[in-house]
Amino acid sequence: MPNRLDDDEIDRRLPDDWEREGDEIVRVYTFDDYLDGVTFATQVAEVADEEFHHPEIRIRYDEVEVRLTSHEAGGITDADVRLAGLFDAER
Ligand SMILES: C[C@H](O)[C@H](O)[C@H]1CNC2=NC(N)=NC(=O)C2=N1
């Protein structure tokens, strides 16, 4: 079981534009075109499936909200901050 990161580690490793909300990290990506957001969400889902670590993805008309937490560990782990960086690379 992966270890939860402590508060200092989370603050240090959280990528720019991501926020911490309790046991989750979240970023909202904005898009001019709804279908661009849908395409991005699909790219995020493909990365998540490859890494076997799955975010919550909410698709709105001009933004996509991505939330990460490690359910089994009950908090934020290395996988979450690492995946955040991988998702940003899809942008
Ligand atoms: C059974 C459990 O869902 C799997 O081991 C994986 C799948 N994807 C996952 N995704 C996330 N975000 N957290 C997990 O703990 C997790 N576990």
Q: Total structural domains in the chain?
A: 1
Tell me the pLDDT tens digit for each residue of 34-79. 999 999 999 999 999 999 999 999 999 999 999 999 999 999 999 9
User: Would you say residue 14 lies in a domain?
Assistant: no
User: Would you say residue 15 lies in a domain?
Assistant: no
* pLDDT at 18 exceeding the cut of 70: yes
User: Would you say residue 37 lies in a domain?
Assistant: yes
| CATH code for the domain in which residue 59 is found | 3.30.1360.20
* pLDDT at 16 exceeding the cut of 70: yes
| Ligand 1 atom at minimal distance to the Cα of residue 54 | 10
Q: Report the predicted TM-score, pTM, of the whole model to 2 decimal places.
A: 0.95
The answer to whether the CB of 70 falls within 8 A of the CB of 79 is: yes
51 DSSP 8-state letter: H
Residue 50: CB atoms within 10 Å: 9
Closest by CA position to 55, among listed 29, 32, 34, 16: 29
Residues near ligand 1 with C-beta < 6 Å?
Answer: 52-54, 69-72
Backbone angles phi, psi at 89, to 5 degrees: -70, -15
**What number is the ipTM of this complex?**
0.90
The alpha carbon of 27 and the centre of ligand 1 are apart by a number of angstroms equal to: 19
Domain extent at residue 29? 23-90
User: Would you say residue 64 lies in a domain?
Assistant: yes
User: Would you say residue 36 lies in a domain?
Assistant: yes
pLDDT of the residue at 1: 66
User: Would you say residue 32 lies in a domain?
Assistant: yes
